[in-house]
A and B are shown apart, each in its own frame.
Chain A
């Protein structure tokens, strides 16, 4: 892939179809899923390095393969992990609950400005996790499920998390503009 010049990039930001320049994706964000292509994802660590840090499930894998070789019962591992972190960080619990989706943070993220990918709007980045949180914890989930945009934990959702968590530098620019200050700073 040739490296684009600044001038080309400027043009691309303004003319290629994306939300930022006015072309609205036709599908809801819940129905669009991530594609991994050479060059658009972060490479996983080598198995030796994962093992050195005593992290579980060290293995050879690549995000662009269909099978991520997830351990058995990975959904449970994630959901218990989420629960544990909700108990450890007030920030996470609070921010899962009180974002008003006002959109003030939307065009503040440089990843959004640079890519135009709607899932790079900080609010949607958080919503990727929040939709699963609501599916587990929101009291009205049985009646309001559809209206709340809840989602069960699936491989597709996990792949989305991988893609968009690594497209955040945790610079916290979004947090400067948020009226309820609801940016989750630590994703599980």
Chain B
């Protein structure tokens, strides 16, 4: 089973974090040194990858056209599905990145059985829904964590926390984003397991981040609602990370170190994996180019100078005999028999 290894890996990480988080000496290792290194790896890794991508040129205009291109004035143009101007491209990218537009378009094909089975296409929005919920709640949670890394706390965070805890269940207040986040990631995981097509294409490296992120969420929620860890001690540690005055107040529950180990793993894993789609999407030539190849010349940066243009006339000169034999109309007829003779005489 492809899902087995990732499960073992995540459990091993949890155990390692917990064990190392139990004694004062090793707490420094997992609580301070590991996340600092992980953060560096994340930043450097992303920058390296982006530089690597930028090094390759985009020789062809390859925007995916999903609608009518700009054409004659009486033909209705589909501005955002086939953008011809920069500003329309920006709108398209915005819709793609913030609203997951391509996923929203998702359809599913199935066979309606009956006397005569029929292919049937219908909208299918589950993936879009869980995907967008997951990404936005993740973002909210990351923002909420900024409370631990800023002093005084960033303005606006209090409002965010208030809105997020709007339903006012429990003390400390249960954040809705946490619940939705856990629900969405579980749904995405189950989807991978039960949909035959997706299960078939899934690799261990697809399950691993899902499980890792689930474990991060779970340890985080346990910390807040079950172990009630000492938040002031944690803030002392996290502020130490930001200001480089590394400190370990020493009375933090091991579950915190599990959480930190998992998050660090995610940060280290990120730049080397498919998670780079978060950055890569900005670079996607199929979405970020304008479909203006009829209006503007797009030059291939590495055109091979050895490949010479081959005009139609030259082509016909080369293949005229074949074309005539195959009864393909030609612009210039074959030289007639008598004309051929005269040329021969001249050359002779």
Contacts and interface: CB of A to CB of B under 8 A. Distances in A.
A45 interface: no
Given A101-B201, A121-B197, A123-B201, A180 B106 contact: no
B117 to A, nearest CB: 3
A113 interface: yes
B153 interface: no
Contacts of B277: 98-100, 180, 182
A4 to B, nearest CB: 14
Interface residues of B, number: 58
A176 B131 contact: no
A90 B57 contact: yes
Interface stretch (B97-105, B236-244, B327-335): B97-105
B283 A94 contact: yes
Interface string A139-156: 110001011110000000
Interface in B75-130: 96, 100, 102-103, 105-109, 111, 113, 116-119, 127
Contact of A13 (B108, B119, B196, B281): B119
Contacts of A146: 5, 204
A14 B111 contact: yes
A88 B59 contact: yes
B274 A103 contact: no
Contact of B284 (A14, A140, A180): A180
Contacts of B62: 91, 185
A11 interface: yes
Contacts, number: 169
Contact of B105 (A94, A98, A176): A176
A11 B117 CA distance: 6
B3 to A, nearest CB: 10
Contacts of B52: 93
B197 A21 contact: no
A25 interface: yes
Given A10-B118, A19-B197, A93-B53, A181 B287 contact: yes
B102 A104 contact: yes
B195 interface: yes
Contacts of B161: none
Nearest to B113: A14
B276 interface: yes
A168 to B, nearest CB: 15
Could you say which interface size class chain A belongs to?
35 or more
A101 B106 contact: no
Nearest to A21: B111
B316 interface: no
Nearest to A109: B109
Contacts of A139: 272
A7 interface: yes
Contact of A87 (B56, B127, B274, B287): B56
B55 A144 contact: no
Contacts of A185: 62, 286
A19 B131 CA distance: 24
Contacts of B205: 144, 147-149
23 contacts: A90-B56, A90-B58, A91-B58, A94-B280, A94-B285, A97-B276, A97-B280, A98-B280, A99-B277, A102-B103, A102-B127, A103-B201, A104-B103, A107-B108, A108-B109, A113-B119, A118-B197, A123-B201, A147-B205, A176-B102, A179-B96, A180-B280, A185-B62
Interface of B: 2, 5-6, 49, 52-59, 62, 64, 66, 96, 100, 102-103, 105-109, 111, 113, 116-119, 127, 131, 195-206, 208, 272-274, 276-277, 280-281, 283-287, 302
